[in-house]
Amino acid sequence: MGASPLAQVLRRLPVQKSASLMVGFGTADDAAVYEIHGDKAVVATLDFFPPVVDDPFTFGQIAASNALSDIYAMGGTPAFALNIVCFPDTLGLGVLERILKGGLSKLKEAGVVLAGGHSIVDNEVKYGLSVTGFVDRDKVIRNSTARPGDVLILTKPIGTGIVTTALKRGILSTTAASEAIKSMKALNKAASLSMTGVKVNACTDITGYGLIGHAMEMAKGSGVNIVIRAGDVPVFKAAMRLVGNKAARPGGLERNRASFGKDVRVSGVSGPMELFGYDPQTSGGLLISAPKASCARLVKRLVAQGAGCAIIGRVESRTRGRQLKLE
Ligand code: CO
Ligand code: CO
Ligand code: CO
């Protein structure tokens, strides 16, 4: 759903208080964090969606990587997962088998055990997982604790919304989309591990609300301003070619612009680069907010772990006016 309509409904739910709940939905963070005992906490999340690619196995891989990502964004270690399946009774079971095998291959890569799941008959295929992990109490990385002076690092290029929409509408071949597909399949595990032992103030993963939406949630939760340098944001080549084509524009892009655009100041940025900021991502990278002093070390670790790494902006003190600047 779009961020604005969802917020409208969530506002109407009574706020529950629990001494054990360390992170709930108040700050739009990636996963819930619940203290169990001593210095340990449970991290829990769930994510599911319709196919973004034709190949069932690849779709399963992407859905699993995407679901695991919220645990990684919190600095947690995923432990076990439950499948969520919506599947039409008119479709061959071989398709479902390949989706689940794709998901399982990513769970194995992540060292996560599949513990069960739930399935229903539905007209449209949907697949995802609920993932549970653990994190040390004092090592939780929130999205709401960025500090003025921080540097912003992004670990994957953006543009998967445009690429998958073009794929679905037959404007783009699977071969031409391969760079983006490879990225969506890639776990954020290496990027997450790179944050251990380095001072990092905040982190979130870039998914449905796009780079701007998730950066905005970071800015609002942290009470800071965020500046993104559009020219430094990596974009998939196929998305770059297609951004001018209205038929390749996902519906979520306009929903994101409607939800977040009013708080964005754009200065000297081309129309297409602005559009990329609102493009909804599937299994996007981590957006890490780190103090300047630990930036060089973090970059070194990201590179050594084989994760992507682009320095795309900075965090400033909150001033009046629009909270995010695209320059
Ligand atoms: Co997330
Ligand atoms: Co999520
Ligand atoms: Co987080």
Measured in Å, residue 175 CA sits from the centre of ligand 3 at 33
Measured in Å, residue 76 CA sits from the centre of ligand 2 at 14
Average pLDDT over residues 282-303: 97
Strands 264-266 and 324-326: parallel
**197 pLDDT exceeds 90?**
no
Q: Which CATH superfamily is domain 151-326 in?
A: PurM-like C-terminal domain (3.90.650.10)
pLDDT at position 125: 98
Q: Which ligand is nearest to the CA of 75?
A: 3
**DSSP 8-state symbol, 126:** E
CA distances from 4 to 7, 10, 145, 256, 260 (A): 5, 10, 22, 9, 8
Measured in Å, residue 40 CA sits from the centre of ligand 1 at 21
pLDDT at position 89: 95
- Please count the other Cβ atoms lying within 10 Å of the Cβ belonging to residue 1: 12
Find out whether 193 and 305 touch, Cβ atoms under 8 Å.
yes
Measured in Å, residue 268 CA sits from the centre of ligand 2 at 32
Token pair listed for 257: 């612009």
Q: Which ligand is nearest to the CA of 218?
A: 3
pLDDT at position 75: 97
Measured in Å, residue 60 CA sits from the centre of ligand 3 at 24
Which one is the CATH code of 14-139: 3.20.20.70, 3.30.1330.10, 2.30.30.240, 1.10.150.300?
A: 3.30.1330.10
Domain range annotation of the chain? 14-139, 151-326
Measured in Å, residue 70 CA sits from the centre of ligand 2 at 6
| % helix, strand, coil for the chain, step of 5 | 40, 25, 35
Measured in Å, residue 69 CA sits from the centre of ligand 1 at 7
Q: What is the pLDDT of residues 2-14, one digit of tens each?
A: 888 888 898 898 8
CA distances from 284 to 7, 152, 204 (A): 22, 15, 10
Measured in Å, residue 70 CA sits from the centre of ligand 1 at 5
Measured in Å, residue 220 CA sits from the centre of ligand 3 at 14
Measured in Å, residue 19 CA sits from the centre of ligand 3 at 19
The percent of residues in the chain predicted with pLDDT above 90, rounded, is 89
- Residues with CB under 5 Å of ion ligand 2 are 47, 70
Measured in Å, residue 70 CA sits from the centre of ligand 3 at 7
Q: What is the pLDDT of residues 34-86, one digit of tens each?
A: 999 889 999 999 999 999 999 999 999 999 999 999 999 999 999 999 999 99
Q: Which ligand is nearest to the CA of 141?
A: 3
Measured in Å, residue 153 CA sits from the centre of ligand 1 at 16
- Please count the other Cβ atoms lying within 10 Å of the Cβ belonging to residue 169: 11
Measured in Å, residue 141 CA sits from the centre of ligand 3 at 5
Find out whether 55 and 178 touch, Cβ atoms under 8 Å.
no
Measured in Å, residue 295 CA sits from the centre of ligand 2 at 26
Q: What is the pLDDT of residues 227-237, one digit of tens each?
A: 999 999 999 99
Q: What is the pLDDT of residues 123-164, one digit of tens each?
A: 999 999 999 999 999 999 999 999 999 999 999 999 999 999
Measured in Å, residue 169 CA sits from the centre of ligand 3 at 34
Q: Cα 176–53–96 angle (5° rounding)?
A: 145
Side-chain-side CA neighbours of 141 within 13 Å: the count stands at: 28
Measured in Å, residue 279 CA sits from the centre of ligand 1 at 15
Measured in Å, residue 102 CA sits from the centre of ligand 2 at 19
Chain centroid to Cα 43, Å, comes to 16
Measured in Å, residue 85 CA sits from the centre of ligand 3 at 26
Q: Which ligand is nearest to the CA of 204?
A: 3
